[in-house]
Amino acid sequence: MSRFALVTAESGFDERIRLAAAGLPGSLQAFHAGHLPSTLDEMYAQLVGEPLEVLVLGPDLPSADVMNFAAAVDVRSPHVSVMYAANASPDLALAAMRSGVRDLVTPDADVETLRIHLEQAAAAAAFRLTSASAATGQAQTQGAGQGRGRVITVMSPKGGVGKTTIATNIAVGLARTSPMSVVILDLDLQFGDVASGLMMKPDHSIVDAVKGPSDALSLKTYLVPHATKLYALCAPLNPADADHITAEQVGDLVARLASEFQYVVIDTSPGLGEHVLAALDQATDVVWVCAMDLPSIRGLRSGLDILGELDMLPEHRHVVVNMADRKSGITVQDIEATISVPIDVILPRSKAIPLATNRGIPALQENLHDSTVKGLRRLVERFQPTWQGRDRRHMHRRVVFQ
């Protein structure tokens, strides 16, 4: 099976590559980014599914960066075919040949032309891999970093702060740039509302997924597709079934989903129960949600302290204040002083969000014009592109609430 990866922020080229790869064996994983990661590990760590064979670099990427990156790929994974969309000149063609770019394609090439290039690149990659394996007596692989998607756990020690609304909107927002590569898992096992939030009536639930066969094909039969091109694994239909799901099963399920999807978004139950801790143990990101009230803020502080003591804080932290209101008597500075970490995103109180939630249509699905929707978009952008190296200094800029 061929395996394709695409790096570009140009929507037209992205769409044509997706259409070209749709009829070919294997899956396409797209990174919506206008720059390349600083290291190969940052990209390989996000690749899931089959081993990479063809890497397509879009026309919006600087040629000097492309040549350097292709050279690094050629050293680490010499069988991978690197395609670059650019108007060829003698100098560029020579630089491409020297760096390890295997194919140049015009940026405005049509779908059929791109499909031919992808087929040829995949065939060449397979031949090089087979030849290398025969020569060394062992298969060449991508390394330990490949095979795991990004796991985003949305949580709060207190209920009623809008975790489900935020989780479903994160999933919808990510699915816009990575269609069919996002799954949302409802881990509020007794009273989960992801199905309602996405207007779904699932035939299967997490119970089937943890009790059924462990292969990838069987797992995907329990997922519910959504109109926004994401998948959902919903909470049990019967709240009593939650007692039959162990923390170990949750951890194993999250790991399996992360091996199949680029993004796994988890909506959790309030508190720090064993199922939530099992999800956090697998998480790359945690989205902490609190409201502008003292119980919620103090609960967040306690949760951060507990997880810090347990050494269970994921690498990436995103603190969100939801339903913010300047008339609450509490300021952003008060919250930051209490929890001892900066706030990353503020979502003002909005009439549009509850209406969208009650209709079962996430706000980002409808493209509503609202200050809270803008905040949700900013939150989603924190997970795009999937490498953070160049923008890490901006990860915790002070937010302004007006």
- pLDDT of the residue at 134: 52
With tokens 């699905």, the residue in question is: 365
Q: How far is CA 106 from CA 19, 27, 370, in A?
A: 16, 23, 39
Q: What pTM did the predictor assign?
A: 0.76
Question: In a 3-state reduction of DSSP, which class is residue 202?
Answer: coil
Amino acid in position 213 = P
User: Which stretches within 259-390 are classed as H helix?
Assistant: 274-282, 294-309, 332-339, 352-359, 363-366, 371-381
Backbone φ and ψ of 40, nearest 5°: -65, -35
- With CA atoms as reference, report the closest residue to 311 among 283, 342, 281, 276: 281
If residue 250 lies in a helix (H) or strand (E), which one and from where to where?
helix 247-258
Q: Considering Cα of 298, then 303, then 304, then 308, what sign does the dihedral take?
A: positive
- With CA atoms as reference, report the closest residue to 365 among 134, 213, 145, 184: 184
Domains and CATH numbers, the chain: 4-136 (3.40.50.2300), 150-394 (3.40.50.300)
DSSP state of 260: T
With tokens 């394609």, the residue in question is: 105
Written as tens digits, the pLDDT of the chain (402 aa) is 458 999 999 999 999 999 999 988 888 999 998 899 988 888 888 888 788 999 999 999 999 999 999 999 998 899 999 999 999 888 888 888 888 898 999 999 999 999 999 998 998 888 777 765 554 444 344 443 455 788 999 999 888 899 999 999 999 999 988 888 899 999 999 999 999 999 998 989 999 999 888 777 788 889 989 989 899 999 998 888 888 899 999 999 999 999 888 899 999 999 999 999 999 999 999 999 999 999 999 999 999 999 988 888 887 899 999 998 888 889 889 999 999 999 999 999 988 888 888 888 999 998 778 889 999 999 999 987 756 554 444 444 445 554
CB environment 333-359: b (16+ within 10 A), e (fewer): eebbeebeeebbbbbbbbeebeebbee
- With CA atoms as reference, report the closest residue to 76 among 51, 58, 59: 51
- pLDDT of the residue at 56: 97
Beta strands at 224-225 and 231-233: parallel, antiparallel or unpaired:
antiparallel
